Structure 1
Amino acid sequence: MAVLNRPAAHGRPAQAAARQTATPTRVRHVLQALALPALLLLLWQVSAVNQWVSPQILPTPQRVLATFTELLLSGEIFEHLRISLQRIASGLLLGGVSGLAIGIWLGTSAWARRYVEPTLVALFSVPTLGWIPILILIFGIEETLKILVIAKAVLVPVVLHATRAIRQIPQSYIEAARVLRLRPWTRLTRLTLPACFPVVFSGFRLGLSHAFIALVVVEMLAATEGIGYMMVWGRTLFQLDIVIVGILVVGVVGFSLDVALRQLERRIGRWQPGHD
């Protein structure tokens, strides 16, 4: 029994050494990522101290921090952020699911490729901002408008990535599925989706960044709540410290969600063939 337990005993120091090696590497990566923000903050402070820009146009970091603290303690920023995240979640779900379905259809159907794809590409070329006036006339300025605008922003990259990923599936995989006479659902879940997963997930991550852009735009134009509305309200009052707080909140939240998606991608991708 002692002999059988030796490999496990040898494996533990190796795992501990790997963890010790990984920790400094992660710290170094974090410091490298914070280098540019720290430099920008330093330039911002120097500019404020030397009054290179008027404080009414570029508030000092201390003023922005005080405004953020005030909004935080009053709970106002949490309320605006909660509403914005609800819109992001609804738009991401609607646009992501619809985009994946359309992408699979375009990638697997020759008929859709010939007759539908050219029209969709033309529609996708119209910026999201260009659809807002028409959508306002149809749906008004209620929540439906905001969710549809965000969903459209998410749908486009998901459709394009899913279509490209499916068309890049090796022909040998497709021939093997035909030989095995896999049912359509089995072929979709066991072949198509696993094979195109990395590219499709990249489409979802890109769609998330587009969703935040669409969110801020639509909240600035047609909303009375949300982070975008808070920013436009600050601009109206000429309190640019509120605008900068909104920008920083959107940036931090967007970055955090992207990091969470990357972690989710790694966890889900472990079951893929060839994953270490």
Structure 2
Amino acid sequence: MNQRGDQKMRTMLLATDLTARSDRALDRAARLARETGTRLTVAHAIEDVKGVEESVNVPSWRRGKPAWKRLDALKAAAAADIRTQIGEQPVEPQIVIGEEKAPELIARLAADGDFDLVVTGVARDAGQGRVVLGSTVERLIKSGLAPVLIVKCRPVEGYRTVVAASDLSPTSARALRATLDLCAQSEVAVLHAYETEEEGIAVHGGSEQDPAYRKALEDARRFVADAAGDQEGRVRLVLEPGSPLSLLNSYATDHEADLVALGTHGRTGFFARLMGSVAERVLLTAPCDVLVVRGK
């Protein structure tokens, strides 16, 4: 993943605010680290440093204690909480407690650390309860520093039913390789939505009688052979005419997928932009976790 050719995943960064909304991402990262032996770095930001330093509203048992000691105590408590939640790992995790805004902390670590994967959760609108993209997630994806795994669902097992959307671009190839790496024991369905102008699409779409399907099948087979290499046997092609968004969410729902993967900034309209596009709607509406890989 990242820029190390065929090298497998070795380093993972988890962003957590230690609230309930981050529990699922933490559990997934811990599981992945155990399954793959990956070195896990866990980052947590203490953003209200000023509030810690101020002496107003300090409880009686903390009065007289220097601000730096109060801050150190908060850091120690956060680190202990993380170690308890992560549990035993084959490789000792690194814990980073920063005194800055979470997006800045995570972006700095991602830029400096050359991570193969960044894991984070999603926010929820306090008024409506709907999933929203937080500023940390948006910044991570836009940076393109590493593939980003957005965890929505509580993990009960490893990823088993996986679908990777593809427009057959180099960015989609990157996303497929990252998905195969992340889900080493699973088959990956590559879903390619193609256009057809043939009449009678309901009858001929998805069959050898449709010239557009034949062309899509030829292109998709070539794509998989090039992108997956010796992992080609783990890939199953799903070719359908229609809208990528509706097809992807429909497939994920009907097949009870636990992971959807996609690349951004490919050559077609589907991946042409990230925020405010179909790609963003996939992040918000997919019924499962989403892996996003951004092209260069």
> Which category describes the TM-score, using the shorter chain as reference length?
under 0.3
Higher relative contact order (CA 8 A, sep 6+): 1
More helix by percentage: 1
Task: Name whichever structure is richer in strand by fraction.
Answer: 2
Q: TM-score, normalised on structure 1?
A: 0.23
Larger radius of gyration: 1
TM-score by length of 2: 0.22
